[in-house]
Amino acid sequence: MRAIVIREFGGPEALQLEDVPEPEPRRTETVLSVRLAGVNYADVHVRGNTYLAPVELPYIPGNEVVGTAGGRRVVALTQGGGYAERVAVRRSLQWEIPDDVTDEQAVPLALQGNSAYHLLLTVAQVTRGQTVVIPAAAGGVGSLAVQLAEQQGARAIALASTEEKRRLALDLGAVAAVDSSDEDGLTERILEAAGGPVDAALEMTGGQTLHQTLAAIRPRGRLAVYGFASGQLADIPVHTLLQKSITVGGFWLPHMYTDRTLPLTASMKTLFSCVASGRIKVISGGTFPLADAAKAHHALQSRTGTGKFCLDTTK
């Protein structure tokens, strides 16, 4: 079968199309015939050897897929292996797609949809009437988080780097959109847009942006950290947490894969329902042939696009 393989860590050129052996499922797994593979920033970190969980080479990236198994359309979470024509997936991490949800709508829901849902509701614990900062608000996780916040009755303050992306965030339900292209003065811009300190914030950039976002949170507010897209890890000053009694929570979705106390099935049911009813709109950033995985990574990493990027394994 065809797959994208990483044999050396590096830039997008490290993603090479190869013929590889068919996957061999374990007792708890089934093999899916993949149609679409989601492209995520986690894949960029894997390619550059900066991922939270180091991988051994050669490696097939890809952590979310839409495909078929036993005649059923399913969306599934994988831990690698998704950039391929077939992949072995745990039965507990695949969900049948309702008839009124398309493959393109379903592909971001398992990874990015669940991330947005649990960042807002499980980690940041955002409730009706509260104000929450959402970074990269025109991206995969961000665009879904903005809409989920609105569904929750919360006020989303969107961060985005271009006027086009800020307009999209406003169209999706954000009450204000802030320019995040310049870190200097970001705190003041958030405070002005929100009308004061915010109740909660999501953060995935790292570096100075993390500190600027932290400074905009009210006493007893919450910060949910889920990445460091800038490549800059930043220490959170303890004195700031103590002075403002701020709660900080880190989040990495794979920690929920075996946690029966926080089932993903419930959040998937909500996400499917919201998409089918039109309450949540999935923003497509474009679909690339499998062989063009490098182009998809370049588009994602350059931050020139919006929404969800996918690979079509049938092309």
**H or E segment to which residue 148 belongs:** helix 140-152
Residues 250 and 178 in one domain: yes
Residues 250 and 139 in one domain: yes
With contact defined as beta carbons under 8 Å apart, do 91 and 28 qualify? yes
- Each residue's pLDDT tens digit in the chain (315 positions)? 999 999 999 999 999 999 999 999 999 999 999 999 999 988 999 999 988 788 999 999 999 999 999 999 999 999 999 999 999 999 999 999 999 999 999 999 999 999 999 999 999 999 999 999 999 999 999 999 999 999 999 999 999 999 999 999 999 999 999 999 988 999 999 999 999 999 999 999 888 999 999 999 999 999 999 987 776 777 888 988 999 999 999 999 999 998 777 689 999 999 999 999 999 999 998 999 999 999 999 998 887 778 899 999 999
Q: Which of 244, 274, 251, 245 is nearest to 202 (CA)?
A: 251
DSSP type of residue 282:
P
Residues 137 and 216 in one domain: yes
Number of folded domains that form the chain: 2
With contact defined as beta carbons under 8 Å apart, do 202 and 226 qualify? yes
Asked if residue 270 is part of any domain, the answer here is no
Asked if residue 267 is part of any domain, the answer here is no
Q: Which domain holds residue 149?
A: 113-254
Helix, strand or coil for residue 269?
helix
pTM above 0.75, yes or no: yes
Task: Look at strands 155-160 and 131-134 and give their pairing.
Answer: parallel
Spatial separation of the C-alpha atoms in residues 238 and 56, rounded to whole Å: 35
